[in-house]
Structure 1
Amino acid sequence: MRIIYFIGLLMAFSACKQEKKESMEIRQLNEGWVYSEVDGSHRGAASVPGTIHTDLLNNKQIEDPFYRTNERDQQWVDKKDWVYETTFEIEEALLSKDKLQLHFYGLDTYADVFVNDYLVLKAFNMHREWDADIKQFAKVGENHLKIVFHSPIKKGLELYNASPYSYPANNDQSENGELGDKKVSVFTRKAGYHYGWDWGPRFVTSGIWRPVELRAWNDYKIESVYLMQLMVNNDVAELEAEIHIQAESHSNVEAIIRNKEDNSIVAKQAFEINKGENKVAIPFTIENPKLWWSRGLGEPNMYDFEIQISNGTNLVSTKSISTGLRSIKLVREEDEKGESFLFELNGVRVFAKGANYIPNDSFLPRVTKSDYDKVVADAVNANMNMLRIWGGGVYEDDYFYDLCDKNGIMVWQDFMFACSMYPGDEAMLNNIRKEAEDNVIRLRNHPSIVLWCGNNEINIAWHYFGKGGWGWKERYTPAQQEEIQEAYVNIFHKVLPDVVDEFTNNADYWPSSPQAGYDIDQHASDVNTSGDMHYWGVWHGLHRFEDFDKYKARFMSEYGFQSFPELNTVKTYASNEDFDIESDVMAAHQRSGIGNLRIKEYMSWYYNVPADFEEFLYMSHVLQAEGIGMAIEAHRRAMPYCMGSLYWQINDCWPVASWSSTDYYHNWKAVHYAVKRAFEPIIISATQNKGNIEIYGVSDFQQERKASLKIELKDFGGKVLKTINQQLKLEANTSTQIFTFASSELKGINKKKTYLSITLKDNDKLLAEQKYYFTFPKDQELDKANIDISIIEQTEDQLVVSVKSDSLVRSLFLSLNKSKGFEWSDNYFDMEADESKTITILGDVANIKTEDIKIMTL
């Protein structure tokens, strides 16, 4: 790799030896905090970052909010005002700096900040960062910092009562929050899911939810650096560093950009800056760049740069930036079937494989780096290449995006608006603009972010230009409809795209998900031939799983089916007396009103419904895995017409029955193993069409591959009734129908006791395998299998076992009751007669014996 650097007019002092002596001093102010209830008796030591709920919990002033129905008894917390206080020391040298500033990475949400009893800041948006200049209020020695958090409910009610009408907000659980039908969430720029959702509780938090810093500096501060990628290909990357500098006086300085890998200078430029805000653009070029690729296509190569500002003698301000070099675009091209919707990375059209992502906890400061490590690892280990950050949560922590960068996980980033209409007054629009600027500027260097999306499901719900939607429009007079629509247009077709356009280099923006096209009037439907789709016919519409094959889109950005968590997780929030899916506690941990009985109804269509509680939990896992596996295969078979499959959802914010594939503790459900199989780079997928069995080969690889196809018709005891072998070519980066098994070949076969075993190999290397069953599991005549488990290898943290059966076994679930947190290389799998399978278990397994491994099957 050769780097060409740009050098502007060099000043005479640039040749001088420079000492790295930054003027910026940063101190963390996250210790020594206490909280107290205004007009109340609750007080104690506080954690920062934290929330009032977790502080009350840590001080034993409330019970575990997630246990049983404790949520109901804790709705008083959000009606109170709370005070957080600490002290910090300032020396004379620090106070003498030109600038002294408090920086808040996140205040939740209505916060008045006082330094030594002087009001220095009024914050009112959870999603923004806030600065307060305190030099004139600070003093040498001890300083007092106080933050008064006003109740978001009381503030919301003030705005609600002042509004001429209420706004739609389906998922605001105002009744649970003791507000009746007053849905106040839309008036406050705060995480929507805090007010409840159909998978989450209602805990409307307050607190210092991200860190606090004291910053002091002289002369200069680099506010931000954006590495614009003007053109990137295999041969060259033409870049431009856009540097924003805050200066306290007019001066001449020099900017230096170093590649931290070898400390080489890639660009250097002298320039003149004025007091106040300055923007400098420095172009440079990298030849033969190592490109950033999404998972499965190549390495997610990253570059680390340091930007230095020198005054000729000292390096007075520096900033480090990491990015990956890639070209990315959302391709929307007209074709004979409509208009495409796909992502093209470095010239390669990518089938997006992944899931929707919600916050990892109702109480955000409890989310640790290990939580982020695990959820991204879960995506990687399930062969995903994309996560969609859903618009009812938060703009995630930098660490999350760093992980996506390093692991080649593309990010579809929603702005934080979901399933509601919002006021469009000037104050709200200005607040939203600042929120968007803060987060676009913070996140724009991450190569993983491939799309900015205005909102979740608002366009389709409001449906202003046609009949349909969620019935919202009909609640309002024509004049009110026009006013609400104007606010929608201003937010999602003016403010947000304007921010993306101003602060990025042509990053793609999509107004709403789902939407049939960019224009305001292009509402999505169940027959989209353009744009993206959320298909909820399965689940909400009581469509059968087979209908996933009927309702395909150019990009499927949401679909899903629920299951319960596994028993060990249920035990964290329920006692034995609650072990009934219709008990009060199980209902409280199921926020979809139709949920528990909907699972049972679907189960009856495909499986025998168990009466035993634990077996029912297991069957709900198997059912969910079947449905989502069928959906992914249908979407991949439709490639390249369909170029994305993102199911709802990968994670949970509390222990609950939901659409997640991993539960609150990041345990894999059956569906996550099914997703891993369905997202393999090459799959075989068989489907019935007019009595014939059509077999497809789907490949993500960029080269055509020769392969041998083997189809065996077997009975459940393992006897081979018919064999078909065929040589074929598997086309690159598409789906191909590779064989049709005619219905006439199945005459006289007992379909309740037979199946197709299909394999695809390249010489002796197995590329893909699939089992196709002719009847639903409830109709199959499965024999009781003798399953043998033996230990092959055992250490303190790894156990390798061999599993073998004398007959076909379906949905074999292995578990350990001794503790939680085990990782299984595979689970909930089918095994053929006399097949031997090796399973690796990670965790505290030093004393595990074979009799500790519990088995459940159909």
Structure 2
Amino acid sequence: MIVQGLGGLEWKYRDTQENEWHHGEVPGSLFLDMIKEGRIKKPFYRFQDREFHELAERDYEYKLHFSVREDVLLREKQFVVFEGIDTIADIYLNGVKLARTENMHRTYRFPVKDILKAEDNLLQVIIYSSVRYIEEQHREHPLPEFNTASPHGFSQIRKTHSSFGWDAEPNVPDLGIWREVYIEAYDKARISHIYTRQRHEKGKVYLKTETLTEAAYGEEVCVEVTVYDPQGEEIFREKTKCRESLAEVWTEIESPEIWWPNGYGDHPLYEICVKMQCRDEQEEKRFFVGLRTMEVRREEDADGESFAFYVNNVPVFAKGGSYTPPDKFLTACRGQRHRELIRLCKEANYNCIRIWGGAVYPDDELYNLCDRNGLLVWQDLMFACALYPSNDEFLESIREEVKDNVIRLRNHACLVLWCGNNENEWFHDYEHHAEGLTHELRMKNLQQYEVHLAEIVRKYDPDRLYWPSSPSSGGGYYDPNGYEKGDVHCWYVWYLPAKPYTFYRDCTGRFISEFGLESFQNYKTLCSYLEPEDMSPNSEVMDYMQHCSDNYCNMGNGKIMNYIFQEVRAPKNFKEYIFASQYAQAEGIKYGTYHFRSMKPRCMGALYWQIVDCFPGTSWSGIDYEYRLKVLHYYARRFFSQVVLCVKEDRFEPRRLEIFAVNDHPEGFTANLIWALRDSAGCVVKEGKKEIQIQGSSSSVFQEMDWTEEIREEDKKQYYLEFSLCSQDGKRISEETYLFVKPKHFHFLHPEFRVEVQNDKEKYILNIQTSCFAKCIKMDLNDNDCEFSDNCFDLSPDRIKTVEISKNSFRRPVTMEELKKQLIFETVNDIGRIL
């Protein structure tokens, strides 16, 4: 088969009400084109993103003049392929209308034989306003709605829902030709799609490669499959001939290199090359697979039914967060932003990400990165928080959408399950009520995911679990957010109705696939988008950049204040509010994560909402829009470690404690549990040590403490506990501190820091000491950025904390002397303190 690319050529676009044409990039985005051209200035500066909605009310035309290669014209079959059009569009080639598209999640192939010519072809794509479209659809046939963060009718178009705004995103309904465009040409046959399936036996893997071809009637097709090991050496080659559409080749791989999730082993990938030949025509496709078994075990037990990932028969506690695109402009997510994001996730000890159903099926590059870095993927289908049309045309469109994406993604090692939607079973069960929400609509909602889309997934990827919704107990509106079985969205903290984060302990679900707390963006990020007068947590601009709604009014910033004041003294300036919000967020998510991990194996997953921002606003993320790390992301590096200490206080008496050791490794080990009671200056009052035996894949209480006799009620503000888990050779595996009171009531002293900086070849090494106990030491640079190997940690005065900074992580090169001058510290000790 011959492919002639049409992307990257001299595309032009215009407003259909104007005559002037402008340069457009394909693949690309209308708004990015306007930004690059200077027609949109500072898109997220203060209130500037309001103009996006106005621009999206218009229609636009893209056009391309191109020539066709002779070898393309000589083929019997010719198609124009659009891998992604956003969204409602009419397509014309040389004045002939090819089709109307209404689904940005689909790939379209249009026959163009006898329309193409050698010279001066004109391809026109007229893209109509999605804003007007959803308004019209809502007027004509409104559906009951729960989502107050998005405009009416958003569910009636197959477009990225969150492009219209969400509780974590602004309303930026972009449009354009966002994926590749090309011509396919062939004579007799082509490869339609390929599916690999695995059977594992002791010391061997049998790999089945199913190749579906499209061939002219009666034509014999030869399919050759070659397999290369992770080092690139050819280990298998075989040909088979067929006159039917399906060719199957089995590969026996001895002593296979097995793929593991992050934290459990390496992630080797085998390359598969499939060549098809029909007469003198050839086509070749290459892709990678990881050899592993993967299943979601749901087994009856004393608590209901388990919900746990097993990879290579090893239970994997899923740790990570929800992926939302890291930019409002989808084509800007590609490349560096995705590479950096997955690197940061891996370094934070993630082993799983959940691709949320309110956005888009990401590009192949994201799954390739997850394959190479050992990150499991929970894949939602792109439906969220809404009812959808149930007419035949819409159902046919979404069936084709799901088919396209299941076929595209199913060979990836990282993909663990398909999920029908985000919150649609929970929102529309019989416990929730909205005007017009009838029994008939509820049944059609179930049928969409439990019949129509379930059939497509099971047909094209029968080896993976299809889960009907998130959260769900298995479908049928049976207790969708229940704790007996399935997965849970734990929003009783923050949303329903903003309880203290200690209420995470009331959540005893089997797999927590969503929970979260908001915080403000980093100060240096805000400086690029705000004016000095905006730098207040309740300024008009800060309110505007907050999109969280509680169904009555925008309350996100008020809720952030609530959680700040639950934790620390009243901050004295805007920078302290930012730090305090990030500290409260991180402490809350740590508390929830430790609780969920301590319940292992009853609970086998903790995925917080959300990983990264798509704009410089306020949200639940651990990484902000400029890829500056919040306190949460640094915390995650520790609370997602394979082995952690978790401190769980008595609900009614904080001086009574249980100390858990949680081990996600399949193997057990011997360690030393070391503890010290210290005063606020950091002086040791009492200490102890015990040798413990930690089992593989376990959570156990190894120490119970009762300090009610030794620490009087009025003295709780003076003391803290420090815990360490150390290997037998003295290496610290995990450490934690515990206050008997909230930090706002603790008698902190002001810490002074001494920092020794060493200059190594590729990194700087910081040896940090403090004059007294310091809570959550957050390091930063005045007017530069870098990544610290550890940050936002607690430190006692008799300890030296070693932190490394890779020289490659600086946004601008810095000398050792400059680093010393640039380095700044924030601590919880000093929040609200007048120095």
TM-score after normalising by structure 2: 0.94
- Residue 42 of structure 1 and its aligned partner are, at CA, apart by 6.0
Aligned residue number for residue 242 of structure 2? 271
CA distance in 1, matches of 2:519, 2:287: 42
Is residue 2:501 matched to residue 1:545?
Answer: yes
CA shift digits 1:406-434 (9 cap, x unpaired): 11100000000011111111011000100
Q: Does 1:739 align with 2:703?
A: yes
| Preserved contact between residue 412 and residue 450 of structure 1 (Cα < 8 Å) | yes
1:823 match: secondary structure: coil
The answer to whether the 8 A contact 1:799-1:845 is kept is no
Q: Deviations over 1:87-130 (max 9, x none)?
A: 11113332111122211110000111111111112211000011
Which residue is 2:542 aligned to?
Answer: 586
CA distance in 1, matches of 2:645, 2:625: 32
Q: 1:253 maps to what in 2?
A: 221
1:800 aligns with 2:765: yes
**1:752 alignment partner, SS class:** helix
What's 2:639 paired with?
678
* Aligned-partner Cα distance in 2 for 1:586–1:446: 41
2:95 paired with 1:126? no
- SS of the aligned residue for 1:686 comes to strand
* Match status 1:573 vs 2:529: yes
State the 1:488 CA deviation: 0.9
- Partners of 1:765 and 1:161 lie apart in 2 by 65
Contact 2:2 2:72 in 1 (8 A): no
What is the CA-CA distance between 1:264 and the residue it aligns to? 4.2
CA distance in 2, matches of 1:773, 1:354: 27
Find the aligned partners of 1:97 and 1:600 in 2 and give their Cα distance. 66
Which residue does the alignment assign to 2:558? 597
C-alpha deviation, 1:744, in angstroms: 4.3
Distance 1:849 1:284 in 2: 55
Q: Does 434-443 or 670-679 show the bigger shift?
A: 670-679
User: 2:529 and 2:575 mapped to 1: Cα distance?
Assistant: 15
- Deviation of 1:245 after TM superposition, in Å, equals 0.9
CA distances 1:336-386 after superposition (whole Å, capped 9, x unpaired): 111111111111111111111111111101113111111111110111100
Matches within 5 A, 1:611-626: 611-626=572-587
Please say if 1:462 is aligned against 2:428.
Answer: yes
Match of 1:100 among 64, 73, 78: 78
The structure 1 residue matched to 2:463, chosen from 506, 526, 530, is: 506
CA displacement at 1:444 relative to structure 2: 0.3
Opposite residue 569 of structure 1, the aligned amino acid is: T
* One of 166, 170, 187 as aligned partner of 2:143: 166
Paired residue for 1:20? none
1:290 alignment counterpart: 257
Shift of 1:134: 1.4
Counterpart of 2:821 (choices 844, 847, 851) is 851
Deviations 1:5-59 (A, max 9, x none): xxxxxxxxxxxxxxxxxx4233343220111111136641111122222222222
Deviation at 1:799, TM superposition (A): 2.8
Which residues in structure 2 correspond to 1:524-543 (within 5 Å)? 524-525=480-481, 528-540=483-495, 541-543=497-499
Secondary structure (helix, strand or coil) at the match of 2:71 reads helix
Following the alignment from structure 1 to structure 2, what is the Cα–Cα distance between the partners of residues 69 and 190?
24
Contact 1:169 1:186 (8 Å CA) reproduced: no
Superposition deviation, residue 315 in structure 1: 6.6
User: Partner residue of 1:835?
Assistant: 799
Q: Give the number of aligned pairs.
A: 808
- Tell me if structure 1 keeps the 8 A contact 2:188–2:278: no
Alpha-carbon distance between aligned partners in 1 of 2:439 and 2:733, rounded to the nearest angstrom: 56
Q: CA–CA distance in 1 between the matches of 2:363 and 2:475?
A: 32
Three-state SS of the structure 1 residue aligned to 2:165 is strand
Report matched runs for 1:391-790 at 5 Å.
391-463=357-429, 466=430, 468-469=431-432, 471-472=433-434, 475-476=435-436, 481-515=438-472, 517-525=473-481, 528-540=483-495, 541-592=497-548, 593-689=554-650, 691=653, 692-744=656-708, 746-748=710-712, 750-763=715-728, 764-790=730-756
1:144 is matched with 122
Matching of residues 304-343 of structure 1 within 5 Å: 304-311=271-278, 316-343=282-309
Counterpart amino acid of 1:564? F
1:174-232 Cα offsets, whole Å, 9 max, x none, are 3xxxxxxxx12111001110110011000112100112112222222111110122x22
Distance 2:413 2:267 in 1: 9
Shift of 1:249: 4.8
C-alpha contact 1:30 1:211 (8 A) present in aligned 2:
no
Could you tell me which amino acid in structure 2 is paired with residue 85 of structure 1? K
CA contact (8 A) 1:698 1:734 kept: yes
After TM superposition, give the deviation of residue 559 of structure 1 in Å.
0.6
Post-superposition shift, 1:63?
Answer: 2.4
- Spell out the pairing of 1:328-367 with structure 2 (5 A cutoff): 328-367=294-333
Matches of 2:347 and 2:113, distance apart in 1:
50
Structure 1 residues without counterparts, runs of 5 or longer? 1-22, 175-182
> Residue 391 of structure 1: CA displacement?
0.2
User: Which residue identity lines up with residue 804 of structure 2 in the other structure?
Assistant: T
Q: Larger deviation: 127-136 or 761-770? A: 761-770
Contact 2:188 2:281 in 1 (8 A): no
TM-score (norm 1): 0.92
The CA distance in 1 between the partners of 2:297 and 2:305, in whole Å, is 9
Match in the other structure for 1:201: 170
Aligned counterparts of 2:396 and 2:288: Cα–Cα separation in 1: 30
Q: Offset of 1:794 from its aligned partner?
A: 5.8
Instruction: Give 1:267 shift.
Output: 3.1
- Name the CA distance, whole Å, in 1 between partners of 2:149 and 2:113: 42
Rounded to whole Å, the distance in 2 between the matches of 1:601 and 1:810 is: 20
The alignment's C-alpha RMSD in Å is: 1.7
Counterpart secondary structure, 2:113: coil
2:551 match = none
SS of residue matched to 2:502: helix
CA 1:813/1:845 → structure 2, altered by over 3 Å: closer, same or farther?
Answer: farther
> Percent identity over the alignment?
30
After superposing the two structures, state which structure 1 stretch, 81-90 or 57-66, moved more. Answer: 57-66
1:216 aligned residue: 185
Question: Match of 1:79, SS?
Answer: coil
The 4+ residue runs of structure 1 with deviation greater than 6 A are: none
Q: Secondary structure at the match of 1:814?
A: strand
Q: Is the 8 A contact 1:36 1:83 kept in 2?
A: yes
2:189–2:278 contact (8 Å) kept in structure 1: no
